[in-house]
Amino acid sequence: MRIYPRFEDLFRIQVRAILRASAYGPLRLMIPMVSALEEIRWVKKIIAEEQARCAADSKAFDKKMQIGSMIEVPSAAFVLNELCREVDFFSIGSNDLTQYFLAVDRGNAKVRDLYSSTTPSFLRLLAMIVDGAHRHGKWVGLCGELGGKLPAVPLFLGLGLDEISLASPGIPAMKERIARYTVQESTAILTSVLGLETPGDVDDVLARAAGGRASDKPLAAEEIVVLASENASKDTVIRELVNVLYADGRIDDPDEVEDAVWRREETYSTGIGFGVAIPHCKSSAVHASSIAMLRPARPFLWAPDDEEPVTLVILLAINDTAPGDEHLRIIAKLSRRLMHDEFRQQLADAPTGEAVVAALNEAMQ
């Protein structure tokens, strides 16, 4: 926002383009990095002038187009009552609001550890913003990294957020996680964490809430079986399997789980021969120990010096609080069975995810 007046001519062109586009369907304009009331008023003045210009030129536009404000500078949260008289909606930019509120540059390795959106004082700020907006009848959403964190779902529901913005691959898992909680339960969790002292205390409460639900999931399930993947490289296949776990609500941070898998791969290749690879990891981001399987549509080499291509990829993800040798025991059982042609063929020919799960469960006996 603060650079708009320096480039007013360019800004006016953008506003006119937005107004013209508003004639073709629902469109809302949101102003970023707002820190003071006068900034909103300046933008609204420009919009009014460009609306008048469009009208004079007989250019169609939506006269009722909504105007909103990002809340990502702490000062904006403390003029919320005044902002509510000027705009129609708000979106909380969790990344910037967190770092400005805590005075932590998350790109600076020396202070990055102090950056946490589950700091109790920050959660109290979020509650103040949402409650203040709702008192004036304004809807409020949340975007940024926090919006994609599955363990934070009871916080979102307890706060009463009207909207959450996140990357599209995470939407199914987010919807599934939301459906698990009642508003009353979420409100109780939020109330309990607002009175805590450290982000670690909050994370522990959220982990227990999430883990209690995820622990009910079986080791193997149809939802985490991919029968014909178009991916044909180690990196894309690992990413697809991690996303499958995320979509099923078994992990809450796909980037962390993927990094954990690659840390294992850097130590040694997890290709075991026979056209099979078993990438694996232990991570606190895993809430349900899982075996996910993928059959690539086109076989590929797992490692450059492999002699035969991979036709089956089985990803094992274990929570880091599990017994130290749990993943090794599972890998050992799988590896022993995978040495047999009959078992590999059973997995390769299984017509459904249910058939794959039955075979994997039998191998775990």
pLDDT tens-digit map of 20-55: 999 999 999 999 999 999 999 999 999 999 999 999
Among 159, 190, 214, residue at a domain's last position = 214
75 contact partners, CB below 8 Å, separation of at least 6: 35, 36
Number of domains in the chain: 2
Separation between Cα atoms, residue 312 and residue 295, nearest integer Å: 5
Percentage of the chain lying above the pLDDT 90 cut:
65
Mean pLDDT of the chain: 90
For residue 213, pLDDT over 80 is answered with no
Which of 214, 246, 270 represents a domain boundary (last residue)? 214
Q: Are residues 159 and 228 in the same domain?
A: no
Distances (CA, A) of 57 to 3, 240, 311, 350: 28, 51, 63, 65
- Say yes or no to pLDDT of 301 above 60: yes
Are 186 and 206 in contact by the 8 Å Cβ rule? The answer is: no
Range of the domain at 237: 222-363
Mean pLDDT of 254-259: 89
In terms of domains, do 292 and 257 share one? yes
Task: Identify the domain boundary among 214, 236, 271.
Answer: 214
Task: Report how far Cα 54 is from the mean position of its chain's Cα atoms.
Answer: 40
* Same-domain pairing of 249 and 171: no
pTM above 0.85, yes or no: no
Identity of the amino acid at 124:
R
